[in-house]
Chain A
């Protein structure tokens, strides 16, 4: 090897090592901009001339590195070229961008073109890596965000379903805005076209939609006579405002449905609690009613008496009693308050109290009815009244005076087999607030005579075909044809007959009966 050849080889080797160092300096960049800056530094150092790195954008070439100057040609090819005192090279990248390099050089040689070609090829390779890494990062971010959206959808469903969540619609608005990257949102609740609630997210943001089309999504549902409308506005991105997409609409719809389900569940729960409360009240009322009914009837020599009260599920207002009075007298009472529930139970309780008070002193049945009519009229509402039947029996003689205050006719079956109805009296108690003149009738119970007092729960018991007991199987016939020795047996058989007739049909009213036999 000659001295000149050896020198040439050393020079080439030095150039190659210098290129390798320059290429190493390019590696490790995290972004395209950073890579362009490094290429700019390497080329500036290599050529010792002004260098410009540019990227082709919507508005033409955009300078990434270097001082402003001439830009690459619009239609530059993939090879380095020399023209007009400069070196140029343009490369397209996989993401659709074009990068151009310009080196100001008055008399570029072949070596310069080769060096620029090598630099740009290395740059392109590294740029592909940077772009691939960015795509990978974006993909991971996007997948994580999808997981976040699904997770948040589940969490929000649980949260709004909780009774501790005071305003599920507010929570949903907040979540919908954050999951869809909406800059703001508004929730409007309106009733009959009038806005009754308006909530902005974040607080104080403008409630009207942005002007740009496609920057708003909405969903709404109706509940409880109101319309709940969710609006999200101005979807954000790092590149500026963008349009909402189908997934955003799906998320908003799903969150709104969760709110609707929550509101419906709360409504149903409130109803169930109210029903439970009513049932508790009814249970109390039923307990009061049962306490005022006689636990046992008095034993009167020469008479056999039996009574029964079978309350229905809803508290009714049936009442009966058999009260010994002074002078061998006995008061027989049966009554039925119009209506059911707590009001009926309260009224029958008042009736019982007044009756007990009035019977303290001797009083004729008609006068008793008149006094009770007045007090019941004052104690009850307009739609509440009591039908009742009173009898005062002289147990030693069988003489009896009766008054019916609009009650079902009491049936008297005589020992001779005759059937009579006792219905003389007047209006139901409490129907008119006045001194109503009730009429009474008198009769004498003979040995073997039988008396049945009952409420409409007996005659108006329905079967499964909604036929009424008294129309299908008249009570009169039963009373006339059924004369067991004991009053208790009669009552038991009557109830059995009514129940047999009703079958599986529910008992809608109290069933009450009082039966007396003069033995």
Chain B
């Protein structure tokens, strides 16, 4: 059964990496958005969200993720999701998130993609 929400974050080579654990709902979405906003204001434009610890995401949580994608798009940045549980990956896909965000099996894979694109998204 899903755990209560928590997250950790780090910035590696200019990329914000947020790792979540637990139910991504209103509380979880707000926490992710707040963490993103803090670093976005500081100029971060590349973001990796590792959802490996989250097996359940509701649509309110997803709306926060969509907002992050939109803000990054407007600023010429990019978001990549990693470590997706198959059920979560399907949910994000149906909700259309991968039209504007990337996905990678691992955080290192996502960072590799950023590096391969010359450090730009």
A145 cross-chain contacts in B, Cβ below 8 A: 59, 95
Please list the 10 inter-chain residue pairs (A to B) with the smallest Cβ-Cβ separation, ordered nearest first: A236-B26, A178-B58, A202-B2, A148-B94, A236-B60, A202-B23, A178-B56, A181-B58, A144-B95, A145-B59
Q: Say yes or no: is A140 at the interface (Cβ < 8 Å to chain B).
A: yes
Name the residue of chain A whose CB is nearest to the CB of B67.
Answer: A238
User: Which A residues are closer than 8 A to B by beta carbons?
Assistant: 30, 140-141, 144-145, 147-148, 151-152, 155, 170, 173-174, 177-179, 181-183, 199-205, 236-238
Contacts of B52-105 to chain A: CB distance below 8 A:
55-60, 63, 66, 70, 74, 87, 90-91, 94-96
Determine the distance from Cα of A236 to Cα of B30 in the docked complex, in whole angstroms. Answer: 12
- A contact residues around B59 at 8 Å (CB): 141, 145, 148, 181
What's the nearest-Cβ distance from chain B to residue A239, in Å?
A: 10
Kindly identify which residue among B2, B60, B91, B96 contacts A181, using a CB–CB cutoff of 8 Å.
B60
Q: Which of B55, B56, B96 has the most CB of A within 10 A?
A: B56
Contact B94 A170 (CB under 8 A): no
The CA of A183 and the CA of B4, in the complex, are separated in Å by 10
Q: Please, how many angstroms separate the alpha-carbon atoms of A457 and B70 in the complex?
A: 84
Q: Are A140 and B96 in contact (CB under 8 A)?
A: yes
Chain B contact patch, size range: 20 to 34
> Which A residue's beta carbon lies closest to that of B87?
A155
- Residues of B at the A interface (CB closer than 8 Å) are 1-5, 22-23, 25-27, 55-60, 63, 66, 70, 74, 87, 90-91, 94-96
B74 to chain A, nearest CB (A): 7
List B contacts of A203 (CB < 8 A).
1-4
A–B pairs, 14, beta carbons within 8 Å: A141-B63, A144-B94, A152-B91, A174-B2, A178-B25, A178-B57, A181-B26, A182-B58, A199-B1, A202-B3, A203-B4, A204-B4, A237-B26, A238-B63
- Complex: how many Å from CA A127 to CA B113? 39
CB distance from B87 to the nearest CB of A (A): 7
A-B contact count (CB 8 A): 74
Whole-angstrom distance between the alpha carbons of A173 and B55 in the complex? 13
Say how far B28's CB is from chain A's closest CB, in angstroms: 10
- B26 x A183 contact (CB < 8 A): yes
Among A30, A145, A155, A204, which residue has the most Cβ atoms of chain B within 10 A? A145
Contact for B1 among A148, A155, A202, A236, CB less than 8 A: A202
B residues within 8 A CB of A152? 91
Which among A144, A155, A237, A238 is the interface contact of B96 at CB below 8 angstroms?
A: A144
CB < 8 Å neighbour of A205 from B4, B60, B66: B4
Which chain A residue shows the least CB distance to B55?
A174
- Beyond the given pairs A183-B27, A203-B4, 18 more chain A to chain B contacts, judged by CB atoms under 8 angstroms and listed by A's residue number, are A140-B96, A141-B63, A144-B96, A148-B59, A148-B95, A155-B87, A174-B1, A178-B58, A181-B26, A181-B59, A199-B1, A201-B23, A202-B4, A202-B23, A203-B1, A236-B26, A237-B60, A238-B60
